[in-house]
Amino acid sequence: MEFLENSVDNAGKRGSIEVIAGSMFSGKTEELIRRLRRAMFAGLKVEIFKPSIDVRYSEDRVVSHDEKSIVSTPVENASSILLLASGVEVAGIDEAQFFDSSLVEVCTKLADTGTRVIVAGLDMDFAGNPFGPMPALIAVAEYVTKVHAICVRCGNLANYSHRKVKDEKIVMLGEKDIYEPLCRSCYIKSMNR
């Protein structure tokens, strides 16, 4: 009942879920940072979260491949976000694919209580399968932005994150040394080798 009461108290606020999805090297984090900085410039109370396992560039910053960054709070699980985002007007979440399915409920609860939630993540894993909670987040979001990289083999738009090393683990942190963005045609060719 407490959750419903909070929803009524925040009836004047307009909560929403925005999802930025795409392959590696497509600019997801860069777009997330851009939206969050605009909210900060507008004087809104903003908090940014990322999974604590993502320490590629920084332990406490969300960092894009082109080295744009913003201070963030690393969290072990999605439920921590709900606790730490209390009272914020805009909540940003990077690398959403690394969270479990409870992230969908967390984002929904935040939006229902008036928070603008902006989520960025890979929509597919290296094998071309839907990744983590991303498909469900896309389904419940008011706004979805699909961004694309450029295929490193032919120059077309890329929407696949091809893993260049042989390893079947779904989660494998890496950069250009391990992954490359490919278009559908080049991805299929690389998988058939």
Selecting among 18, 47, 95, 180, the annotated active-site residue is: 95
Whether the CA torsion 180, 161, 111, 107 is positive or negative: it is negative
Q: Beta strand pairing status for 46-51 and 90-93? A: parallel
85 backbone dihedrals φ, ψ, rounded to 5°: -95, 5
Tell me how far CA of residue 140 lies from CA of 42, 103, 137, 154, 192, in angstroms.
26, 12, 5, 34, 35
* Secondary structure (DSSP) of 44-82: --EEEEEETT--SS-SSEEE-TT--EEE-EEESSHHHHH
C-alpha 153: how far from chain center: 26
Does 168 participate in catalysis according to the annotation?
Answer: no
* Cα 59 to Cα 41: distance, rounded to the nearest angstrom: 24
Could you list the active site residues?
95
